[in-house]
Structure 1
Amino acid sequence: MKTEHFTTLPGGTQASPVTVGGQRMTIAEVAAVARGARGLCLSDDAEFQRQIRAGAAYLEALLADGGTVYGVTTGYGDSCTVTVPPELVAELPLHLTRYHGCGLGEYLSPEWTRAVLVARLVSLAQGYSGVRWALLERLQQLLAEDVLPLIPAEGSVGASGDLTPLSYVAATLVGERQVRFRGEICDALPVLQSLNWAPLKLAPKEGLAIMNGTAVMTGLACLAVERAEYLTRLCSRITALASIAMQGNPGHFDPRLFAVKPHRGQIECAQWIWEDLASQSQAEQVRLQDRYSIRCAPHVIGVARDALGWIRRDVENELNSANDNPIINGDEEWVLHGGHFYGGHIAFAMDGLKTAVANLADLMDRQLALLVDSRYNHGLPQNLSGASGPSAAINHGFKAIQIGASAWTAEALKLTMPASVFSRSTECHNQDKVSMGTIAARDCLRVLELTEQVAAALVLAVTQGIQLRFAESEPMLTAACAAFCQEIRQHVAFLDEDRPMEHDLRRMVAWIQSRTWALYDAAA
Structure 2
Amino acid sequence: MTAADAAIELAAPLSPAGLRRAATPVTVLVGPEVRDRVERGRAYLRKVLAEPGRAVYGATTGFGALVGFAGRTDEADQCDNTLAHLTAGQGPDLATDLVRAALLTRAWSLARGASGVSARVVDGLAAMFGTTFVPAVPRYGSVGASGDLIPLAYATQALRGRGSAYLDGRRRPAADALREAGLDPLTLDGRDALALVNGTSVTSAALSLALDRVRSAHRALQSLTCLLVDLLGCDPGFLDPRLITAYGHPGAVEVAGRMRATLAGSVPAGDRPLQEPYSIRCTPQLLGAAEDALRYVDGVVAADLGSVNDNPLFFPDDDAVVHGGNFFGQPAAFAADTLANVATQLGNLAERQLDLLVDPHRNGGRPPMLAAGPGQQHGVQGVQLASTALVAEMRRAATPAGMQSLPTNLHNQDVVPFGTQAALRAYDVAELLTLLCGSLAVGLRQAAHVGDRDVTAAGCRSLLDALGEAVAPVDPDRPLDEDVRRAARLVTAEH
Residue of structure 1 equivalent to 2:16: 27
Q: Deviations over 1:323-362 (max 9, x none)?
A: 0001111333210110111000000000000000100011
SS in 1 for 2:45: helix
Q: How many residues align?
A: 494
Which deviates the most, 185-194 or 353-362?
Answer: 185-194
Which deviates the most, 23-32 or 205-214?
Answer: 23-32
Residue of structure 2 equivalent to 1:187: 173
Cα deviation for residue 150 of structure 1 reads 0.7
The alignment status of 1:480 with 2:446, answered yes or no, reads no
Residue of structure 2 equivalent to 1:11: none
Residue of structure 2 equivalent to 1:522: none
The alignment status of 1:55 with 2:45, answered yes or no, reads no
Quote the Cα distance in structure 1 between the aligned partners of 2:5 and 2:360.
Answer: 49
Cα deviation for residue 196 of structure 1 reads 5.0
Contact 1:73 1:89 in 2 (8 A): no
Residue of structure 2 equivalent to 1:495: 474
Written as runs of structure 1 = structure 2, the 5 A alignment for 1:270-289 is 270-281=256-267, 283-284=269-270, 286-289=272-275
Residue of structure 1 equivalent to 2:64: 77
SS in 2 for 1:71: coil
Tell me: CA distance 1:111–1:249, structure 2 relative to 1, closer, same or farther (3 Å): same
* Paired amino acid for 1:491: A
Cα deviation for residue 89 of structure 1 reads 4.3
Written as runs of structure 1 = structure 2, the 5 A alignment for 1:90-169 is 90-169=76-155
Residue of structure 1 equivalent to 2:309: 323
The alignment status of 1:504 with 2:483, answered yes or no, reads yes
Residue of structure 2 equivalent to 1:208: 194
SS in 1 for 2:172: strand
SS in 2 for 1:74: coil
TM-score normalised over the length of structure 2: 0.95
Contact 1:424 1:432 in 2 (8 A): yes
Quote the Cα distance in structure 2 between the aligned partners of 1:375 and 1:45.
Answer: 68
Cα RMSD of the aligned pairs, angstroms, is 1.9
Which deviates the most, 407-416 or 462-471?
Answer: 462-471
Cα deviation for residue 510 of structure 1 reads 4.2
Quote the Cα distance in structure 1 between the aligned partners of 2:303 and 2:55.
Answer: 30
Quote the Cα distance in structure 2 between the aligned partners of 1:61 and 1:193.
Answer: 35
Tell me: CA distance 1:343–1:234, structure 2 relative to 1, closer, same or farther (3 Å): same
Contact 1:358 1:413 in 2 (8 A): yes
Cα deviation for residue 65 of structure 1 reads 2.0
Written as runs of structure 1 = structure 2, the 5 A alignment for 1:172-251 is 172-251=158-237
Cα deviation for residue 480 of structure 1 reads 2.9
Contact 1:31 1:222 in 2 (8 A): no
Contact 2:58 2:71 in 1 (8 A): no
Which deviates the most, 399-408 or 112-121?
Answer: 399-408
Quote the Cα distance in structure 1 between the aligned partners of 2:451 and 2:406.
Answer: 55
Cα deviation for residue 282 of structure 1 reads 5.8
Contact 1:78 1:428 in 2 (8 A): yes
Contact 1:221 1:346 in 2 (8 A): yes
Q: Deviations over 1:94-123 (max 9, x none)?
A: 221121111111111221111111111111
Cα deviation for residue 88 of structure 1 reads 3.1
Quote the Cα distance in structure 2 between the aligned partners of 1:76 and 1:425.
Answer: 17
TM-score normalised over the length of structure 1: 0.90
Quote the Cα distance in structure 1 between the aligned partners of 2:123 and 2:429.
Answer: 35
SS in 2 for 1:202: coil
SS in 1 for 2:334: helix
Quote the Cα distance in structure 2 between the aligned partners of 1:399 and 1:165.
Answer: 41
SS in 1 for 2:92: strand
Quote the Cα distance in structure 2 between the aligned partners of 1:147 and 1:330.
Answer: 35
Quote the Cα distance in structure 2 between the aligned partners of 1:326 and 1:395.
Answer: 65
Cα deviation for residue 285 of structure 1 reads 5.2
Residue of structure 2 equivalent to 1:17: 7
Where in structure 1 are there 5+ consecutive unaligned residues? 8-13, 520-524
* Paired amino acid for 1:44: G
Contact 1:354 1:447 in 2 (8 A): yes
Residue of structure 1 aligned with 2:435, choices 453, 467, 479: 453
Quote the Cα distance in structure 2 between the aligned partners of 1:503 and 1:466.
Answer: 20
Residue of structure 2 aligned with 1:418, choices 375, 400, 409: 400
* Paired amino acid for 2:247: K
Quote the Cα distance in structure 2 between the aligned partners of 1:414 and 1:165.
Answer: 24
Tell me: CA distance 1:383–1:103, structure 2 relative to 1, closer, same or farther (3 Å): same
Where in structure 2 are there 5+ consecutive unaligned residues? none
Quote the Cα distance in structure 2 between the aligned partners of 1:414 and 1:194.
Answer: 42
Cα deviation for residue 321 of structure 1 reads 1.0
What is the identity percentage for the equivalent residue pairs of Structure 1 and Structure 2? 32
Contact 1:218 1:315 in 2 (8 A): yes
Residue of structure 1 equivalent to 2:335: 349
Tell me: CA distance 1:366–1:516, structure 2 relative to 1, closer, same or farther (3 Å): closer
Tell me: CA distance 1:363–1:45, structure 2 relative to 1, closer, same or farther (3 Å): same
Structure 1 stretches of at least 4 aligned residues deviating more than 6 Å after TM superposition: none
Quote the Cα distance in structure 2 between the aligned partners of 1:41 and 1:6.
Answer: 14
Quote the Cα distance in structure 2 between the aligned partners of 1:6 and 1:133.
Answer: 27
Cα deviation for residue 386 of structure 1 reads 1.9
Residue of structure 2 equivalent to 1:44: 31
The alignment status of 1:295 with 2:284, answered yes or no, reads no
Contact 1:315 1:345 in 2 (8 A): no
